[in-house]
Structure 1
Amino acid sequence: MSKLFKNYTHSYFAYLQIEKNNSVHTVKSYRDDLEHFFMFMDEQQIADLTDVTHQTARLYLTRLHEKKMARASVSRKISAIRGFYRFLMREQVVEENPFLLVHRPKGTKKLPSFFYEEEIRELFETVEGPDLLSIRNRALLEILYGTGIRVSECAGLALTDLDAHLGILLVHGKGGKERYVPYGSFAAEAVENYVQNSRAMLMKKLDHNKLFVNFRGAPITTGGIRHILNGLIQKASLSGKIHPHMLRHTFATHMLNNGADMRTVQELLGHASLSSTQMYTHITKEHLQHTYRNHHPRA
């Protein structure tokens, strides 16, 4: 990549990691998007970022559409470059943001997939065995469904993050944000059984404080959790593969269907914005319509 790219982006990536506390994955996505834009600048023989105009930004947007790039990808790239220029303005490198008024295409939002209550019961039936892995899988399933935490947050849980007396988890979320999430009696019983009768035996001579471990006793990874969940899906004879966030979506949907308010669900999920939680209202509306059609004499 050009010297121009390295000169301008080194401090920006440091800003994202240190000040914004963005994850490594997020920073990599920003890097990829900015590299793509700098390549475009080279093609257009634009020597410096201060030479980029609103017309340049419009031309770049046109190029993305010509490549038949997905709307979500186009929107992400424009957002990344806009944020980069916002940083450059703060550092007084440029005087204006040429991407400020560029229209970001709205992506088509897909409704999140979730399990119906009958499917959840069927899924839990697959982890009723007395063997070490079934005991672990039961605890894993109870925590994911009972708290709605992300798979990555589940993998990162330590023994010290559990307060068994209060039934509360300390969850280390995205961007270094922490939150407390309660868990119910089913999860409490499953986790206690796992810690007392499975975890130490799986770990053998290994020594670490992570709550969930793989069959070798090492800390479980997000990929490992996905593998376990897909195995349970096959065992339960449910259709399709499980999405990493499917139990999280199920948690939110079932909470709202049973009368929980939106703000509470937002806090439990760790959503920074209420708009992220509002996508579940589409599902709950379908649930209300289904219930109405089945139970109202004039439906």
Structure 2
Amino acid sequence: MAITKLEDGRWFVDVEPVKGKRFRKRFKTKGEAQRFEASVRAKLAVTPEWNPRPKDTRRLSQLIERWYELHGHAITSGRRRRNMLLFIAAKLGNPIAQTFTVSDLVALRKVELEEGALPRSINVRYSYLKSIYTELRRLGDIDYSNPLDTLKPLKPQQDVVSFLSKAQVATLVSALRDYSTFPHLALISEICLATGARWSEAQRLTWPMVRAGCVVFANTKSKRVRSVPISQELQDRLEAYFASKTRFPFCREAFARMVKRCNIELPRGQCTHVLRHTFASHFMMNGGNILALKEILGHTSLNMTMRYAHLSPEYLQDAVRLNPIAAVDVV
């Protein structure tokens, strides 16, 4: 029933354009009743809440692929992040993305912690998953709120920065230079030790990126291009290497074997990153400026660089000079 004539001569409109939205009204003329019905149906076409989308039944893996198609392909680590997220989706049983809950993820987090996963690594992975929903909602691909909005990250114990001593640096560099099977291994390692570069940044280095006594790092984690001076000796060795080759091959596992062979024990996950920590730590111990270190490392925030501040000689001397015992005479 839409429009009917009542016994008193008026016209009655009873229209339900969508289930649950019903409108009833009386009019003096049939024309008024028809115009009202038409306006109600027209509103349905332009008002999203009157015409809701069908329930989104896509699985989490499908949402991840959609994110990669719309956004992930354009970011530096997009493919690696996509694979990581698909692995998480599989561990979760690939649930319906819209009905997925924080409780589901917290249950997986408990299992991963029991298996020995690091809280910081878990936080990073789960923040990537959370951002999938945020980005797809921003792009209009989903119309529901982020089901992971209430997820709070774990609070990890702050790690002590591990770095190599001068003796360990000498032992490692000597062993790498003598390792004829991988002659490039010493070069990559020394680039990291000389510039504070990440292993991946040093491994991607090509000869055109060596300019006037500096190495230029592009496509970095912080998206910033940075230039760091190097010694003439290191530049000459790079020039000799790239005279017959275009790039460095992958050799992270070979480096890990050499570290073990040199009897250098490191915290889990710091095998190559220890070179960057070593540069930064010795830079500060030798009196370097914290702001200069921030620029050399390419940090976007000084807070990231401050982990090395305690190694500054001035910082250490202040601890001796300014403590309360230093200011009193004990008889």
- Relative to the length of structure 1, the TM-score reads 0.69
1:192 maps to 2:236: yes
Amino acid at match of 1:180: R
1:179 maps to 2:200: no
Report if the CA contact (8 A) 1:119-1:238 is conserved: no
1:227 maps to 2:254: yes
How does 1:32-111 map onto structure 2 within 5 Å? 32-37=87-92, 39=93, 41=95, 49=98, 51-52=99-100, 56-58=101-103, 60-62=105-107, 64-65=109-110, 68=114, 70=117, 71-92=119-140, 93-111=142-160
Q: State the 1:5 CA deviation.
A: 3.6
User: Deviation per CA, 1:114-134, whole angstroms, max 9, x where unpaired?
Assistant: 1122332344444677x9779
1:8 maps to 2:57: no
Instruction: Measure, in 2, the Cα distance between the counterparts of 1:127 and 1:5.
Output: 45
Task: Looking at secondary structure, tell me which structure has more helix per residue.
Answer: 1
How does 1:203-282 map onto structure 2 within 5 Å? 203=244, 208-210=245-247, 219-223=248-252, 226-228=253-255, 230-231=257-258, 234=261, 237-240=262-265, 243-281=271-309
Q: State the 1:251 CA deviation.
A: 0.5
Task: Sort the Cα spacing of 1:121 and 1:82 in 2 relative to 1 into closer, same or farther, 3 A.
Answer: same
Report if the CA contact (8 A) 1:147-1:181 is conserved: no
Amino acid at match of 1:250: T
Task: Sort the Cα spacing of 1:267 and 1:36 in 2 relative to 1 into closer, same or farther, 3 A.
Answer: farther
Corresponding pairs, count: 261
Deviating 4+ runs (over 6 angstroms): 131-135
Report if the CA contact (8 A) 1:253-1:280 is conserved: yes
How large is the RMSD of aligned CA atoms in angstroms?
A: 3.9
1:145 maps to 2:182: no
Unaligned runs of 5+ in 2: 1-56
Which residue is equivalent to 1:162?
Answer: 210
Instruction: Measure, in 1, the Cα distance between the counterparts of 2:131 and 2:182.
Output: 46
Q: Which has the higher contact order (CA 8 A, sep 6+)?
A: 1
Secondary structure of the equivalent of 1:174?
coil
1:25 maps to 2:83: no
Task: Looking at secondary structure, tell me which structure has more strand per residue.
Answer: 2
Amino acid at match of 1:169: V
Task: Sort the Cα spacing of 1:160 and 1:148 in 2 relative to 1 into closer, same or farther, 3 A.
Answer: same
Task: Sort the Cα spacing of 1:137 and 1:105 in 2 relative to 1 into closer, same or farther, 3 A.
Answer: closer
User: Deviation per CA, 1:74-112, whole angstroms, max 9, x where unpaired?
Assistant: 434432332112123213313322322222211223223
Amino acid at match of 1:191: Q
Overall identity of the aligned pairs, in %: 19
Task: Sort the Cα spacing of 1:183 and 1:126 in 2 relative to 1 into closer, same or farther, 3 A.
Answer: farther
Instruction: Measure, in 1, the Cα distance between the counterparts of 2:260 and 2:239.
Output: 24
Larger Rg: 2
Amino acid at match of 2:157: T
- Relative to the length of structure 2, the TM-score reads 0.63
